[in-house]
Amino acid sequence: MDALAELTRLVSVDSVSSRPMVDLAAHVAQRCEDVGLRASILPMPGHSGKANVIARVGPDRPGGLTLSGHLDVVPTEGQPWTTDPFTATVRDGRVYGRGTADMKGFVAASLQALGRVDVARLSRPLLLVWTCDEEVGCLGSAALAASGLGDGPVPSACLIGEPTDFRILRMHPGHVAVRVVVRGRAAHSSKPHLGVNAIEAAAAVVEACRDVAAELAQEVHFPDLLDPPFVPLNVARIHGGSAINIVPDEVTIDLGYRPVPGMAVADVFDRLQRRLERLPRPHTGLHAEISRVTPSLLTPAGTPLERMLRAHAARPDVGAATFATDGGNLEKLGMAPLVFGPGSIDVAHQADEYVAIDALHRAVDVVEALVREACA
């Protein structure tokens, strides 16, 4: 099997985050065993049908290498695909299919590369971490950060093969999701004075969010790495009201912001809370809470892995990702992750996602070279 066949097989399994993916986890674990590693499938506590896969080889010594990626993909509904997203289709030197770039291409390339190396003879540890539910908030890696990776070494040199077009990225902001529930009182719309209009109250909440966003945009962080160099805050979703002739009694507002490394997760939330507390309240129900946290990542410049990757990088500079990865959670396990892989984030999550076949083969060569260098 070559990398293209390996990728074709991975793409054929619909592992959209909302679906069970234990069959894919079992397949990937088997492929890890095929190339000489000891694989374990770690079911996600409280999430049936979901599992992370860990595989190891090599002695328990310092150094070595961790390769990591996620096995889930984003949905395809409503997107104008010109091919079947779950059938890898080769056209014009590219492989099209959901997950080809983000990021089954890297998983396939890694498995191929390891097939070329006599892993039984490695003198430093090699660890593979394949996660689930990354696309819905890095839940798989969060579970691993909480549980640990079991017995065995955890090489701090960690490559996360997200699609960066072979650029080295050492940092990304996190993501914090906040839900605000505004409660009013329902009434017949002919007698509005008997009710409290939750949508009107919610408008003031949205206004407060906009004020906080404007304030955040004035505060510069990591100008050499981040674009834009501030914490963006986005009011993402709003739901309220039930019928045209009823005064609405409840509105739910979901917003998200991207804290930079070193910033307390609750920093922006606390500012928002203080503003919400100052809003006039014709009613008692306004409640805000953090619903999900994806940690940020900051790996120091100049790690040994960065030096190894430079020989293979498309550009000499080391940058930041605009998107979050499993890296923040892997950092909690003692790793210093770098994000670097085949394909472009610009085609990820889109219709007709693809990876160039050249890039796929190049990724095989890069992983092989890294394993030989880091684990020899």
* Binding footprint of Zn ion on the chain (CB under 5 A): 102-103, 162
Task: Report which residue type is found at 220.
Answer: V
Q: Which is nearer to Zn ion, 17 or 299 (CB)?
A: 17
Smaller CB separation from Zn ion, 102 or 250: 102
Element of type H or E holding 42: strand 38-43
Q: How far apart are CA 285 and CA 376, in angstroms?
A: 61
Q: CB–CB of 174/296 below 8 Å?
A: yes
Q: Rounded to the nearest whole angstrom, what is the least distance from the CB of residue 27 to Zn ion in the complex? A: 19
Terminal Cα-to-Cα distance of the chain (whole angstroms): 25
CA 184 – CA 199 distance, rounded (Å):
8
- Quote the least distance from Cβ 341 to Zn ion, whole Å: 9
Least separation in angstroms between residue 156's CB and Zn ion is: 21
305, 293 contact by CB (below 8 A):
no
Contact status, residue 101 vs residue 163, Cβ threshold 8 Å: yes
Which of the residues 6, 102, 134, 250 is marked catalytic? Answer: 134
> By the 8 A CB rule, do 246 and 186 touch?
yes
- Give the residue with the Cβ less far from Zn ion, 6 or 162: 162
Residue 205 C-beta: closest distance to Zn ion, Å: 32
Give the integer Cα–Cα distance in Å for 291 and 293: 7
Amino acid code (one letter) for 98? R
What is the rounded distance in angstroms from the CA atom of residue 200 to the CA atom of residue 148? Answer: 47
Structure tokens at 106: 């890297």
CB 148 within 8 A of CB 333: yes
DSSP label at residue 171: E
* Selection from 99, 105, 122 nearest residue 5 by Cα: 105
| List 6, 72, 326, 368, catalytic entry | 72
Nearer to Zn ion, 6 or 250 (CB): 6
51: Cβ contacts below 8 Å, ≥ 6 apart: 21, 22, 25, 41, 42, 43, 44, 132
Catalytic, 72? Answer yes
Q: Least CB distance from residue 79 to Zn ion, whole Å?
A: 16
CB nearer Zn ion, residue 272 or residue 367: 367
Check if 215 is active-site.
Answer: no
- How many C-beta atoms surround the C-beta of residue 183 within 10 A? 15
- Closest-approach residue to Zn ion (CB): 102
Residue (72 or 249) nearer to Zn ion, CB: 72
- Per the structure block, which two tokens stand in for 171? 């940092």
CA nearest neighbour of 202 among 83, 270, 283, 313: 283
- 75 vs 285, which CB is nearer to Zn ion? 75
Q: Hey, what are 245's tokens?
A: 């002739």
**Minimum distance, C-beta of residue 74 to Zn ion, in the bound complex (Å):** 8
To Zn ion, the closest distance from the beta carbon of 321 in angstroms equals 10
Active site positions, annotated: 72, 134
